[in-house]
Chains A and B, each alone.
Chain A
């Protein structure tokens, strides 16, 4: 209230009368905002009171004042007895989320408190039941209580509640996925135990201890059952559109270690390729496919690696480029299946040059990573011809620096330069090399 806002003394007649100024008529403004609100409301009802309470809780939480937040939460809790079902996020959900935050951060709260709190939250809203279970499981996992988490997830998985089961389908899938993950985890642990045990066992003198053998067997049985459970789960899960990175990786790893036939691995990775072409496993996938004897597989491999390199994330990845280079080279040398390259290149020839093979990139790649430049140059030389900017720059630089392998590269490309012509469709007839 500084006297900064000075107003000249008005004369009475000039004062606006008691007639209310016309309201604002902004089309999107809700009606109750047309006139400015009075600054201090003296009325109060249940709803407003709880809204105010909520703002205090939020303020306290933002400032990490957990005691204060807990204090105001105690006053908010009675709104459970008056659950406005029309609101987007009702009191029970609010209390669940706020309570979780407070219990996580408050110094005096224990896991026991948290668990009993969550159990109560589960009873509050059937529409949220699975979500609460899932988050509870996460929390337990974060606190290292894997077994409890597993129990919770299993329990939740078997929950059925009429319509709600289908309504909460997404959460159910997640629950299954995580349970599968935990199965994988326990399988992994058990396998490690066995391996360790196995090494110990062989180094010992052959004392056929029945007990040891029995233990060995039971662990192995457990392991197999975990595997089966996990496999079923994960296989089902990754069919569903969505980002299942963690799960897929585990699953693949799982299958590899379990010694599953390549076939199942490949089928899984194919699914992944369809969903997430830029996935990091694609590099391994391509390697795997290249080795295959089947033509279809190798064709797929080429497709996979090209698709991966469509994404900016792999632009500077040496391994990716080396895979592509290797496969391209191999195809050229064999002089078979040039049409594969042509097919892949067709949709890319308009934009890959600018995307991967500009002069600027050539310079930069050479400066930063010669291996990268090398691999790229090979590909560029084949796809765009030896006169393309990228190849010219790199080979020039390389020869200047007297890099042996670049001389080899230059030779190779020169040797196979007509290939470029064939690929780009400029000439259909095969040219004598």
Chain B
């Protein structure tokens, strides 16, 4: 599949070689508009792939909730790590 080379700024993350990663990150749009657009694009991709289908199951929402749990755990890790080997809670 040797089509014409795509410029670095327009490639998706999976198509960027590891050595080119800093350059690719530098070319991304980190303005507020760009951030909003990327969040919106990510949400639309997820929504259209897992939820906006004819026979969507519980997986679409379940993945969101599990991701939310993981995010909350990561946010509270500094607080929770004291509970690990404590004898009396």
Are A and B co-members of a single complex?
Answer: no
